[in-house]
Amino acid sequence: MRRPSQLVQSGSDVDIDSAMTPMIDVVFLLLVFFVWTASFQIVEQVLPSQLVTESGQQNIDIDPPPEQSDLDNLVIRIEFDGAAATWILQEQAMADIEQVSRQLAAIGAISTDVPVILWPEKSVPLEYVVAAFDAAKSSGYSKISYAISGDNQR
């Protein structure tokens, strides 16, 4: 036996609300799509700027920006003679960690994105390595690593 369909009933008109609901859903989906993909950036012509309105040739002396050289890795070699440690920062010997910290802070004023490499000798006590690490960290460096050559391995 065949069951009567609920969509098509004899003598009943199709309800206007049931026909408009899918179309309204599609319109709202399109509206949401266009709002999400719209660019909300300020138009370039609207931005305030100071342009020269005079025409003709003008002699304007503009100094070029100073040359900025990229900094290489900062290598801190730590040597120990049995009594005291010596820190060598970029081939410059320093007797105490405060001097290393001041030098790192001066270089850090330019850029702290430079990697710092701590390179202790085999006989250096750990406290001197930690002091160098703390000096680099307190100067604002975040890329700090350790280097050990093949002859320094224990």
pTM value surpassing 0.85: no
Contacts of 93 (CB under 8 A, 6+ apart): 86, 87
**pLDDT (tens digit per residue) in 52-106:** 556 656 665 656 655 545 567 888 888 888 888 888 888 888 888 888 888 888 8
Q: Residue 2's Cα: distance from chain center in Å? A: 69
**Which residues, other chains included, contact 73 with Cβ-Cβ below 8 Å and sequence gap of 6+?**
114, 115, 116, 117
Neighbouring-strand partners of residue 89 = 76, 92
Domains of the chain, first to last:
74-152 (3.30.420.270)
Q: What is the pLDDT of residues 29-64, one digit of tens each?
A: 999 988 888 776 666 665 555 555 566 566 656 566
